[in-house]
Amino acid sequence: MQAQDRPQPKPGPSPTVNVGKPETFTLKNGLKVLVVENTKLPRVSYTLTMDNAPYAEGSKKGVSDMLSAMIGNGTQKISKDAFNEEIDYLGASINFWGSGASGSGLSKYSTRILEIMADGALNPLLTQEEFDKEKAKIIEGLKADEKSVPSVAARVKNVLTYGKNHPAGEYLSEATLNNVTLADVKENYSTYFTPGNAYLVVVGDVKTKDVKKQVEKLFGNWKKGIAPNVSYSDPKDVQYSQINFVDMPNAVQSEISVVNVTNLKMTDKEYFATLLANQILGGGGEGRLFLNLREKHGWTYGAYSRIAGNKYVGDFTSSTSVR
């Protein structure tokens, strides 16, 4: 009891955050490279990102999902098993998706980590066998989501907010996935996995001059190209508050979301103030929504809100699950 009567400790001085300034260079194919030397730990990380504009896939929604599922399952030079075994042997983490790749590990293996990441990203093994396997996995996941109230609620929320023909509003279904072929996946890769809008960020115990030589060797022959830039009309909020219901008889709880279209940019004057306000409102267990709806009334296990800066249009969402 005496311990509970003690005054709350006063906060110490704010820590100083030192963000290293990157050394930058650009390859002839357009790949932009940023290197931050940091020798505090004997580690290194690589992140390859395609900064492409969002695009809708329409009746073949799922082609990018299939590419993300297939890329990284071996390369044209290394079998899937040998590829994964070497990553494990290095104690590294190397991941791939339809618009990029990442790798990290001990700096003494930095050369090989980047070699594997580059090989997996630029020489993916896109075969019919892997296509069929990954498609079956995705379909199983979709079937599991058919009666999932949170999954259905998320799809409905995005359609109502952005429209079904907007990149952020369309959703994957078994019907659209069945329209996708291996040829579509290969075309998506050749169209969107290009260096023109790509960034390679290197951070860790490395030397910029060594990184430059290796990047030029591994990525210099990457075929030059820029992904198409398709523009879409930004969604608008409805004129008046609108309530939409989806009846799911199997639901144990109801998903409730309040959504508003936003256009918050990281360059906006009120950007940080907006993030702070959201943290106070519903950013976590200390947020007012959580404290009121769960701690005070016991109506839900949790209630949260979110908003983020976005290069493109986004949304503010406050949501909870209640009986």
User: How confident is the model over 49-67, as pLDDT tens digits?
Assistant: 999 999 999 999 999 999 9
Residue 1 has pLDDT above 60, yes or no: no
pLDDT confidence of 3, banded at 50, 70, 90? low
pLDDT confidence of 4, banded at 50, 70, 90? low
Domains of the chain, CATH where assigned: 23-219 (3.30.830.10), 254-322 (3.30.830.10)
| DSSP sequence for 61-117 | TTHHHHHHHHTBSBBSSS-HHHHHHHHHHHT-EEEEETTEEEEEEEGGGHHHHHHHH
Residue 6 has pLDDT above 90, yes or no: no
Q: What angle do CA 61, 63, 66 make, to 5 degrees?
A: 125
Q: Region 155-184: what's the mean pLDDT?
A: 95
DSSP assignment letter at 295: I
Query: What's the number of CA atoms in the CB half-sphere (13 Å) around residue 69?
Result: 22
Q: Considering the chain, what percentage of its residues have pLDDT values greater than 70?
A: 99
Element spanning 282, H or E: helix 271-282
Q: Say if CB 278 and CB 308 are below 8 A apart.
A: no
Residue 37 has pLDDT above 80, yes or no: yes
Residue 138 has pLDDT above 60, yes or no: yes
User: How confident is the model over 144-164, as pLDDT tens digits?
Assistant: 998 899 999 999 999 999 999
Q: Measure the CA–CA gap between 135 and 172, rounded to whole angstroms.
A: 12
What value does the mean pLDDT of the chain take? 93
The pLDDT of residue 124 is 95
> Which phi and psi (to 5°) does residue 262 adopt?
-130, 165
Q: Is 33 exposed, middle or buried (0-12, 13-18, 19+ CB in 10 A)?
A: buried
**CA-to-CA dists, residue 31 to 25, 45, 49, 177, 223, angstroms:** 9, 17, 10, 31, 10
The pLDDT of residue 178 is 97
The pLDDT of residue 229 is 87
The pLDDT of residue 94 is 97
Residue 301 has pLDDT above 70, yes or no: yes
Q: Say if CB 262 and CB 318 are below 8 A apart.
A: no
Q: Considering the chain, what percentage of its residues have pLDDT values greater than 90?
A: 83
Contacts 24+ apart (CB under 8 A), 108-113: 108/42, 110/44, 110/204, 110/205, 110/206, 111/214, 112/86, 113/44, 113/46
Q: Measure the CA–CA gap between 51 and 293, rounded to whole angstroms.
A: 39
Residue 111 has pLDDT above 80, yes or no: yes
The pLDDT of residue 48 is 98
pLDDT confidence of 2, banded at 50, 70, 90? low
Q: Say if CB 178 and CB 62 are below 8 A apart.
A: no
Going by C-alpha positions, the residue among 254, 243, 244 that lies closest to residue 149 is 254
Between 103-112, 178-187, 228-237, 275-284, the lowest mean confidence (pLDDT) is in 228-237
Q: In what order do the strands lie in the sheet with 198-204?
A: 23-26, 32-37, 198-204, 43-50, 100-106, 93-97
Q: Say if CB 195 and CB 122 are below 8 A apart.
A: no
The pLDDT of residue 274 is 97
